Structures are given as structure tokens and as C-alpha cells.
Structure 1
Amino acid sequence: MIRAATDTGTFVPRIPLGEWVDTAVDWVTATFDPLFDGVKAVFETLYDGLDWALATPPFAVVALVLAALALWVKGWKLGLGTLVGFVVIAGVDQWANAMDTLALVLLATLVALVLGIPLGIWAARDDRVSRVLRPILDFMQTMPAFVYLIPTVVIFLTGPVPGLVATVAFAIAPGVRLTELGIRQVDAEVVEASRAFGATDSRVLRQIQLPLALPTIMAGINQVILLSLSMVVVAGLVGAPGLGAEVVASFQRIDVALGAEAGLSVVLLAIYLDRVSSALAERAPVARALAAAR
């Protein structure tokens, strides 16, 4: 089929990319259906357990525990601000939805880091792997967030699992990139000196490279968390529970009040996750040593 390019007056043959992708997704779905059913069952079990742990206890218990974490990692100002923010979320009747969203974010972040950090280490230790991963990560980071939802809905239908899988795919790139960057930035002379004293490659990685790269890796973890939160909200379009579902409902009903309440809850949750993860990075021994040296 020949399609005219009306803006230039030239003729460009039609590339059936969409049909190829559609055929590939159908083949993958049919071929690996038992595997996908297993993945769905595992993710649903993990999500249900984490969501139960966050949503079942009384509001005061969970809020105080999360505020105590903020107090420990940063100080009383963040602890008090956390408590006030959670009171506001509960006050607008979005606490249960916020816990659903937090469970999705924590699980997606965990899966993304379990996959991303080893890939980043591998890329840092092998230039060929780095060259292969770089264009893939570029593609993943520039792909619009909504596009990730299409194949996951085809494979996993609706509910928390397609949102979780799409979130992992959307958020994994910073974890890989910043892990690789952190390890590559470790002083080569320090690595060579440790090898000269007989340290094995695995020991150099565990005791030299990872500790020195930890501040950069923690920055990657912070980015993974925030990207996960943004994608989890979008995943409300495919039935993922939580604040995203409320945002979608407010849009469908043109309900400004619900949109404002759900949107404010997302912002407060994002601020909490950002401040806590950033404070954890600052508490790393290497980060504290660098701060003291300045």
C-alpha cells in the first residue's frame, strides 16, 4: 500500500509497524500465558499482603510509624510535616486510597530495583552490555507513559498487576543508569590498589565500589520512587486501585472537588517519599564523610 505524504508531495511506502507489534504481542500472550498467569498470581499476592499491612491498622498507628521514620531519617521538622500531611489526607477521606497507592509504589520500586541495580552493575563492569542497554533505556525513558499500559492490559487484563508491570517498565531506567554511573565514577586507582592487595572482583564490588557509589545509587532510587508514583496514578486508567482511580473518576465525572482532594493527596505522598528517600541517601556513610570533608 502506498500512502501519500501530503505535506511534502512525495510518496512513502506504508510501514505496518503497528500490525507487527500487534502480532508480536498476540504471539507472546499466547506462548507465555502460563508464565504470565504465574507472574500475575505472585504480584497480586504480594500487593494484597502489602496493602493489608498498610490499610488494616488504624490510621493513627500507620501515620505515627511513617512519621517516626521521617523523624529518624531527617529530624523533627520532617516528622511533624509528615504527620500534618497525613492528617490532611485522612481529612479529605483519601487515606485508604493513599495506602493502596503507597503499596503499589513500594512494590513497583522494589521490583524495579531488584531488576535495575544488578543490570546497572553488569553494565558498569562490561562495556558491551552498557552499549546494548543504553539505546534500550533511551527508548524506555522517552516512551509516553500511556503506551506502557496497552500491552500490559492485553496480557494481564485490568487491576493492580498491569499497573504494577507498566510502572516497573516506566521507572526502572534511572535505577540502571545511576547504578552504572555511580560505579564507573569510583576512582580507578582505589580499585586497582584493592586488587593489588589481593581482593577479588566480587570483594572489590561489595566493599569498595558499591559503598563509594551508594550516594549516586540512592539518587537513582529516589528517581525510581517518584517515577513509580507518577505512573501508578496514570495506571488508574486500567483499574489500578488508589489515588489514580480517584483522579480518573474525577476526570470522567468532571468532579473538581474529588480531583482536588485526590490530587492534593498525591502531592503530599510524593513529598513524603521524596524527602524520606533523599534523607536516607544523606545518611549513607560515604555521603556523611563527603559532607564532613566540605
Structure 2
Amino acid sequence: MNIYLPLERWTNSFVNDWLIPTWGGFFNRLSDGIEWVVEGITDFLIYLPPSLIMVIVAALAFWLVGKGFSLFALVGCLYIGAVELWPESMQTLAIIIVATFLSVLFGVPLGILSAKNDFMDKITRPVLDFMQTLPSFVYLIPAILLFGLGGVPAVISTFIFATPPSVRMTNLGIRQVPEDIAEASKAFGSTSWQMLLKVELPMSLQTIMAGVNQTIMLALSMAVIASMIGAPGLGSTVLSGISNVNVGLGLTGGLGIVVLAIIIDRITQGIGNKL
């Protein structure tokens, strides 16, 4: 049986003949807004004295995790500065901050809606499965086409790739709230909003924060991949090492990503535990 499905032609026709001509102006304005935010955060982080950021990170690590990890965070920051990758680290951090903010901004409300509505949950599950199983490189193609090269397509592709954990964990956390507590809240006359804000969200906060933590880790994992479309930061350092077969440069940038990932991971876990 010979079946031909012209999916490639249909997709290209949809993008080139309708999507870009119709929505090109919207994507340009969106790109300008995201670029302004990313550049603003990057300039601010680079403007701050590295010693000040080191002290803040070490203090947060001491308060949220402990003195042992505080020492590791300080040594990690010193390593990033010693190998002269501080500006690249701040560029990567700025992209992660913006992408994570967008993922949480969209993911948590969608997770709440999915937990409250079984029909919505049935719709979002296959979409999230698709987002998580589609190879991350595939996200780069429409990102380049709609937003060009640089930090903006990196933010968009990272946002799409990193959003599912936030949705899933929020949904899971709210659904795991004990039924007897929910019934007691209703018996005392709580409205739906009071139930959500005063019972369900506080009791599921640790699960939601675990989802945020996973979102940040996925965003960091896109650092090297996003560098292929011109994203600045540590990923571009690793990519340069790969392109030039420079093992030392690749290892230096890779260790920078590892240090950044461990520090952010433990600090966000500490925030979840504190809350």
C-alpha cells in the first residue's frame, strides 16, 4: 500500500503563506519586548559587582541550604570568575530567568485549571506529552523563522521546552490535597477562590516548587542547544569548543553550566522547603 502524506508541503505553506504574512507584525513586537527585557536583566547583572553577587549567592545558600553548600556556592562563583566566564554566565542566567518566569506565568494557572477541570486535563495531557517528547532541536526551527537569531528565539524555545513540568506538578499538587481537608473548608463556607488561595495552593506549594525547580533545570539544559541559534552565554562557549575541537574550552564552559545548575537547583529547592 502506497500512501503519500504531504505534511512537509502543508506545513511550509501554512507558515510561509499564512502565519508569517498575517502575524509577522505581532511576532516582531513580541520579539522586541522580550529582547528589551533580556538585555535589561543582562545589563543589570553585568553592571553589579561580581563580589556583591557572590556574597548574595553565598548568603542565600547559607540561609536556605546550609554552610557547606554556601562554601560550594562561593567556590563555584569564584571558579566562574577565575576562568573569565562571568559575563557569559550572567547572559545565560538572564535567559533562564525570563524563560522560567514565562513558563511559571503560563504553567501554574494552566496546571490549576487542569486540576479543577477533568476535560481540560484530558486536553492538556497529550499537548504536554508532545512538548516533552518532541526533540528539543525541532523547537529551534520555528523559533528562528519567527524571531530570527539571538536571545529571543532562545527564550521562546526554552519556554516551550521547560513549561510542562510546571503544569504537571501544579496539577498533581492540587489533586493530592486530602479530600477531608477540602470538605472541612467547604463546611466552613469557603468560596472556590478562598479554597484555592488558602487551602489548596499552600498545601501543594512544595510540589509546585518542585515543578518550578524542574522547569529551571530544563531551561539550563537548553543552554547549549539554544546557542546554535545565536543565544549568548555559556552555551556559546561550549559550542565554540565543539566547533574548534577545543577540549579545554568546552570543559571550561561545561563546568560553568554545571556549577550554575547546581547552585540554582539547591537554592530553589531550599526556597520550596522554607515555604
TM range (shorter): over 0.9
CA distance in 2, matches of 1:20, 1:277: 43
Aligned residue runs from structure 1 range 10-25, under 5 A: 11-25=1-15
* Residue equivalent to 2:175: 184
Report if aligned partners of 1:164, 1:232 keep a CA contact under 8 Å in 2. no
Report Cα offsets for 1:25-54 as digits up to 9, x if no partner: 222222111211111111111111111121
Alpha-carbon shift at residue 193 of structure 1 (Å): 1.4
**Poorly superposed stretches of 4+, deviation over 4 Å:** none
Alpha-carbon shift at residue 186 of structure 1 (Å): 0.3
Task: Report the AA paired with residue 212 of structure 1.
Answer: M
* Number of matched pairs: 274
Report Cα offsets for 1:123-161 as digits up to 9, x if no partner: 000001000000000010001111001001000000100
Report if aligned partners of 1:159, 1:238 keep a CA contact under 8 Å in 2. yes
Alpha-carbon shift at residue 233 of structure 1 (Å): 2.4
CA distance in 2, matches of 1:129, 1:76: 44
* Residue equivalent to 1:249: 240
Alpha-carbon shift at residue 12 of structure 1 (Å): 3.1
TM-score of the superposed pair, with normalisation by structure 2:
0.97
Task: Tell me which structure has the larger Cα radius of gyration.
Answer: 1
Is residue 232 from structure 1 mapped to residue 223 from structure 2 by the alignment?
Answer: yes
Does the residue aligned with 2:204 lie in a helix, a strand or coil? Answer: helix
Task: Report the AA paired with residue 25 of structure 1.
Answer: V
CA distance in 2, matches of 1:258, 1:131: 46
5+ residue gaps in structure 1? Answer: 1-10, 285-294
CA distance in 2, matches of 1:131, 1:176: 13
Aligned residue runs from structure 1 range 122-141, under 5 A: 122-141=113-132
* Residue equivalent to 1:83: 74
Is residue 72 from structure 1 mapped to residue 63 from structure 2 by the alignment?
Answer: yes
Aligned residue runs from structure 1 range 1-294, under 5 A: 11-26=1-16, 27-284=18-275
Greater shift after overlay, 217-226 or 184-193?
184-193
TM-score of the superposed pair, with normalisation by structure 1:
0.91
CA distance in 1, matches of 2:172, 2:14: 33
Alpha-carbon shift at residue 60 of structure 1 (Å): 0.9
Alpha-carbon shift at residue 24 of structure 1 (Å): 2.3
Alpha-carbon shift at residue 264 of structure 1 (Å): 0.6
How many percent of aligned residue pairs carry the same amino acid?
41
Q: CA RMSD in A?
A: 1.0
Report Cα offsets for 1:165-196 as digits up to 9, x if no partner: 00000000000000000000001221121112
5+ residue gaps in structure 2? Answer: none
Alpha-carbon shift at residue 59 of structure 1 (Å): 1.5
CA distance in 2, matches of 1:112, 1:233: 19
